[in-house]
Chains A and B, each alone.
Chain A
């Protein structure tokens, strides 16, 4: 073991020097990625390299896109870039995307909020399904401008997509689009994977606004908006940490509800676990080491959940009566008896689209504020719940 130490030191020093050089030199990056793990950005003179690397069903799917601004004074031809890149070893997988992208088809509603936040929703030339959209503004736009619905997953209408001639189709791989991606590629329509939902850090998920910003020519604005949100989030998180004395007992939190004898709970290293921790709560599975959800036997969770102070996310249930009507055993939970059953569906429309899953990922500061005001109301006395509501 000892003999390896010097080489590690040399590597560390080497990398530090490299970073220093990169930081001071021509590759100074305006867009930096701090929290997200699924994408990285490399700015070069006249173009930008966008790397996507996502863990999709157990293997890593990675791809690189060359993002070339349409009218840059440092304009550089595609041929020149190819020549430079061949030295940089990037393989034939590289695709070129001219920005700002003028026509985009987002195959998931979660890609819409950043477009709206950056004021570029006019690039949307097709959507998956109107019913899935929460944002009133976007719904009106879709109806007024007659933006076509192309479906998603196995029912994606490939012909319609090809006919719309989008510059980019944005997909998230969960709906089974892998079947159609090769077909679209043949029609030379690049499919960019957006992995925001795979991030386990709330700020990492929100940081994907930079990815959208880069593609839509709004990189600086995206950077600014994200920094504001990150600053808010960090401020709130630190406020909780300093306000709670070391021996204070944080409220215990359980999530979801049983379905067919199983109780699926988020893993201890996942997105919701991080939120609960940052909001000064004690998630009952905080010790677990998975970022994916855990499928547990109902009795196992029930025993733990009996003494939880808060109970979050009753997906699909709208009242306490509704909840106990489904399974009267749930009425035994302390959180139920004390009225601390909280749902993330304060903003859900008739069609069942929930804004928590639409704009929520891009406003982690608001979700955190909601959770803090639930767990420690005295810390944010002026805050009124935005995404959350108590079940009555």
Chain B
């Protein structure tokens, strides 16, 4: 690998680590730095504190360990997952506009979640809570199935429609279909359930607990590992299916694998964080722009790191103190991200040729 690439990766890694630390150190409650280091390094049993001090300390300890750390980990995982899912879509459809939110995949996940929250939520609370992983596993499964369902339909249609643009249009139509079903569901649902559904659609990295991360982490990691194995085939696909076939790539199998991985990523992230827009479409473009290549050997890790970093920035900005509460995540990701993408695309006027 060229030295410039290594330097860029090293810088990116450092920035991501720094952002992760910043996300843990800064929050609505001001906690001094040395206190945070103490919380992170000293186990609870080793502490010599009592009375008031112990109560105050344990509160801060809970905030760092039970609120900020899971939030930062979730941001990182969600950003990586969405960005990688977007990259998969863009390569698979050979279209720069592809991404979970454009192809109706988010809308499918959305429909799955809406079905669970609006129809079962509350009423069958006892039944769902009795399930091994509780309500959240059900929501996750519904979200992944919804995302995968839309993807499979799009792929089936793609056998009959040659044009990629037409395929995107079909995806868009399925998105509208899913969204209108969601609107219908809302119309017929009780207000309390609609409220918890609408809350979810705002998007946030801050709703997860360690229990949720136990579901999220393995799924994202599995998809990332799968992505690493797919690098060679993805590069071949970039040059067209005919070419890939001539290179000995089992196109249909790769397609199904890429779709499964993409749906898993988009589905699991959407279930826990709500429909987070923009990251999926934008990050792969930034990755290609920064490293000036479309080679997946570089773009896959770059997309992962950049996705994590951008999600962390969005989370930090949405939690900046002194604004009375927290900003909606989706508006932050787009507000911050759009200028960056436009700048990257302008700088690399040849950017189109990467895809």
Contacts and interface: CB of A to CB of B under 8 A. Distances in A.
Contacts of B59: 302-303, 306
B301 interface: no
A329 B206 contact: no
Nearest to A290: B324
Nearest to A262: B326
A326 B133 CA distance: 11
Interface in A274-302: 294-300, 302
B274 A260 contact: yes
A326 B319 CA distance: 23
B29 A299 contact: yes
Nearest to B190: A352
B256 interface: no
B62 interface: yes
Interface in A297-350: 297-300, 302-303, 306-307, 315-318, 321-322, 325-329, 332
Contacts of B324: 294-295
A317 B126 CA distance: 10
B206 A298 contact: yes
A155 interface: yes
Interface string A158-177: 00000000000000000000
B188 to A, nearest CB: 10
B200 A318 contact: no
Given A262-B325, A294-B324, A322-B125, A299 B63 contact: yes
Contacts of B193: 316, 352
A297 B319 contact: yes
Contacts of A58: none
Given A260-B202, A294-B325, A295-B326, A318 B125 contact: yes
A260 B190 contact: no
A228 interface: no
B192 A307 contact: no
B209 interface: yes
Contact of B199 (A260, A296, A326, A351): A260
Contacts of B135: 325-326
Given A327-B209, A329-B67, A352-B192, A261 B125 contact: no
B209 A259 contact: no
Interface residues of B, number: 39
A237 to B, nearest CB: 31
A107 B209 CA distance: 40
A328 B66 CA distance: 10
A300 B28 contact: yes
B157 interface: no
A131 interface: yes
B115 to A, nearest CB: 18
Contacts of B62: 302, 306, 329, 332
Interface in B191-244: 191-193, 195-196, 199-200, 202, 204-207, 209, 211
A43 to B, nearest CB: 38
A260 B212 CA distance: 13
Contacts of A300: 28-29
Contact of B191 (A260, A295, A318, A352): A352
Nearest to B325: A295
Nearest to B56: A303
Chain A: interface secondary structure? mixed
Contacts of B71: 261
A30 B191 CA distance: 39
A316 B193 CA distance: 8
B253 interface: no
A302 B199 contact: no
Given A297-B28, A297-B319, A315-B192, A322 B67 contact: no
Contacts of B28: 296-297, 299-300
B134 A316 contact: no
B206 A261 contact: yes
A261 B134 contact: no
A190 to B, nearest CB: 27
Contacts of A303: 29, 59-60, 63
B129 A261 contact: no
Contacts of A352: 122, 190-193
B206 A260 contact: yes
A326 B60 CA distance: 22
B129 A321 contact: yes
Contacts of A260: 199-200, 202, 204, 206-207, 274
Contacts of A329: 62, 66-67, 209
Nearest to A351: B190
Nearest to A295: B325
Contacts of A262: 199, 204, 206, 325-326
B255 interface: no
B165 interface: no
A131 B188 CA distance: 10
A302 B27 CA distance: 13
Contacts of A351: 190
A326 B129 CA distance: 9
Given A315-B192, A352-B122, A259 B129 contact: no
A219 B187 CA distance: 38
B180 interface: no
Interface string A181-210: 000000000000000000000000000000
Given A302-B63, A306-B59, A316-B196, 6 more contacts: A259-B196, A260-B274, A303-B63, A315-B195, A316-B193, A317-B125
Interface of B: 27-29, 55, 59-60, 62-63, 66-68, 71, 122, 125-126, 129, 134-135, 187, 190-193, 195-196, 199-200, 202, 204-207, 209, 211, 274, 319, 324-326
Interface of A: 131-132, 155, 258-262, 294-300, 302-303, 306-307, 315-318, 321-322, 325-329, 332, 351-352
22 contacts: A131-B190, A261-B205, A262-B325, A297-B27, A299-B27, A299-B28, A299-B63, A299-B68, A300-B28, A300-B29, A302-B67, A303-B60, A306-B59, A315-B192, A321-B129, A322-B129, A325-B129, A326-B135, A328-B209, A329-B66, A351-B190, A352-B122
Q: A-B pairs with the 5 shortest C-beta distances?
A: A261-B206, A297-B28, A295-B325, A300-B28, A352-B190
